[in-house]
Amino acid sequence: MAFRIRKSFKVAPGIRLNVSKSGLSTSIGGKGTTVNLSKRGTKVTSSIPGTGISTSKLYGSSKAPNTSHSAPTASPGFGSYLLTLLIIAGVLWAIFHK
């Protein structure tokens, strides 16, 4: 039996910080459309609220096969920078919003 562990924190209206055993991610949006930024890539989910009908697409996935014999190089994508920026903005908002 597999177990999943996840905790979500509301950082600001429409922005959530998600923590799981696989890492951190940030969700932006709400009912209807949500964008999730994580190390796996950017996932966009759209739905018709109240119907259970939804669709999602993962962009920037790093599932490409590694066929070269050289050492892989790490190249952070735009999603990594945006995720870092959103986390910093959320922390600053939480500190100064009183």
Please name the residues in contact with 58: beta carbons below 8 A apart, sequence gap of 6 or more.
Answer: 40, 41, 42, 43
**65 falls within a domain:** no
Q: Indicate the burial class of 83 (C-beta count within 10 angstroms; 0-12, 13-18, 19 or more).
A: buried
- Domain of 32 in residue numbering reads as 6-59+77-96
**45 falls within a domain:** yes
**71 falls within a domain:** no
**52 falls within a domain:** yes
Q: By three-state DSSP, how is residue 1 classified?
A: coil
**69 falls within a domain:** no
pLDDT digits (tens, 9 = 90+) for 61-94: 755 555 555 555 555 566 666 666 666 666 666 6
* Total domain count, the chain: 1
pTM, rounded to two decimals: 0.57
